[in-house]
Copies of this chain bind each other. A is one copy, B any other.
Amino acid sequence: MEFSSKLLENAVNEMSQLPGIGKRTALRLVLHMLRQPKEQTLDFTKALSTMRTEIKLCKSCHNISDTDLCDICANPNRNESIVCVVEDIRDVMAIENTSSFKGLYHVLGGKISPMDGIGPNELNISSLVEKVKLGAITELIFALGSTMEGDTTNFYIFKQIQGCNVKTSTIARGISVGNELEYTDEVTLGRSIINRIPFEASLKS
């Protein structure tokens, strides 16, 4: 791509560094900005740079936060003895949207994935193990995605806290609500039969 302006070229190159945004899309977005009032672009860049420099991670659960302790950890109405282990902040948001969990979270910041060079030391695992060893946690819920990396991470943490007096559970795998059996993959369907629940219990949820 030949640009008539170095400034434009720089902007497009920076924009196309974002995941899923190619050069053409980047150019489209940058030209859109040029058609908008100047202030709009300056608001945009200010919001992003302020966010990047001033945002904090909650020192307890590693969730993204404006303060040292995030709103969830600081909330006295949450049950501190149940901790849900998730991969990243999007999972916290997804679970919070369901309003079905009143405990705290622990954000790992990823999953163990040797292929991508991510080992246990790159994740917030040691602080979780420490918290468990302090003894205040009664249940740990593993809520990672159902992939090989997720299962590996679950198992690694499970091994680290063996011997501690804590119950561990994992979120249920099974067919989605509203789904037909014929469209469900066989592994999921198999697990949903093995991990079947008493019918009376299903009436409550």
Contacts and interface: CB of A to CB of B under 8 A. Distances in A.
A5 interface: yes
Contact of A8 (B25, B31, B49, B55): B55
Contact of A48 (B1, B6, B45, B90): B45
Nearest to A8: B64
A190 B107 CA distance: 62
Contacts of A134: none
A15 interface: yes
A132 B44 CA distance: 40
B34 A45 contact: no
Given A5-B66, A11-B47, A31 B90 contact: yes
Nearest to A53: B38
B64 A14 contact: no
A111 B89 CA distance: 44
Q: In the complex this chain forms, how many copies of it are found?
A: 2
Of A7, A42, A51, most buried by chain B (CB within 10 Å of CB) is: A51
Nearest to A42: B49
Interface of A is mostly: helix
A130 interface: no
Contact of A10 (B31, B34, B47): B47
Interface string A130-174: 000000000000000000000000000000000000000000000
Contact of A34 (B3, B7, B19, B52): B52
A65 B4 contact: yes
Contacts of A52: 33-34, 38, 41-42
Contact of A65 (B5, B17, B47, B92): B5
B97 A7 contact: no
